[in-house]
Amino acid sequence: MGSDWSALERALAARVVSASRVSGGDIHDAWRVELADARRVFVKTARGAGDAEVFPCEARGLSWLAEGPLRVPRVLAVEPGFLALEWIERARPARDADEALGRGLAALHRLGAPGFGLDHDNFLATIRQDNTREHDWATFYGRRRLEPLLRAAVARGAGTPAMVRAVERVIAELPRLCGPAEPPARLHGDLWSGNRMHDEQGAPVLVDPAVYGGHREIDLAMMQLFGGFSERVFDAYDDAFPRAAGHEARVPLYQLLPLLAHAVLFGRGYATSAEDAARRALSA
């Protein structure tokens, strides 16, 4: 789409004056687009045919998160071939940005969801997520998250026999491992540091969601997997919405999801990490 902006111009009712590539396009191409009416917008465009549902699902996810206290980019237009969002100028984090993120995430989780799952499927990166609702979290986590990711990893050749056995044991024991029952939280679903930025005022902004209703420790475990979040974030979260007893022991259980997803996306190199997380979850 980079040389033909006619669909975007029709959607935004303004002529494109210039477009330059920017970061944020690991999966899609990302652009800073200047419009004739002086607006600046962030645009993602599909690479190749892609999946026509990816951008509409992302737009719906952003709108769902926007009901919470943390800022997310406002959706300006969406079609199968592109997603246009408000341009947010990046700045250094404010002094209280970590505390604001912790409190804001706690409030977002408290908003909740109608059930474990969502009323439509969506995507974690390029992986389609089955969001069919289940009555309890352990069933949803096993049937709609771990089992499909394990099958996909094996199909890709990214699952060792030892990893498969360990993950299958985890799935069988989820009712014991998942911790105290909680109502479904409103999840970002892919909350690593690359999907958190800071706006013009230094306040936290969340981008690139993979939303659903689920256990809130999923978001928090993902935040701890690759780093990038200070302890002040988690302290502020726990001050506002304390995690249930034993949450530290459940971190490997909930990091298993992104590790399996990485095995699907990036190959066998993540099999050992996924196996290790599964074994630690079983021994907790």
Catalytic residues: 190
Q: Show Cβ contacts of residue 3 under 8 Å, excluding neighbours closer than 6 positions.
A: none
Instruction: Output b/e per residue, 65-89; b: 16+ Cβ within 10 A.
Output: beebebbbbebbbbbebbbbbebbe
What's the maximum distance between 2 C-alpha atoms anywhere in the chain?
60
Q: How far is CA 214 from the centre of its chain?
A: 12
Q: How far is CA 18 from the centre of its chain?
A: 30
List Cα–Cα distances, 179 to 102, 214, 247, 284, in angstroms. 22, 13, 8, 11
Q: Which residue has the tokens 């006619």?
A: 6
Residues 122, 127: Cα–Cα separation, whole Å: 8
Residue of 109, 83, 60, 97 lying closest to 217 (CA atoms): 109
Residues 242, 38: Cα–Cα separation, whole Å: 45
Residues 25, 8: Cα–Cα separation, whole Å: 18
Residue of 28, 30, 32 lying closest to 20 (CA atoms): 32
Task: Give the pair of three-digit tokens for residue 191.
Answer: 């909350």
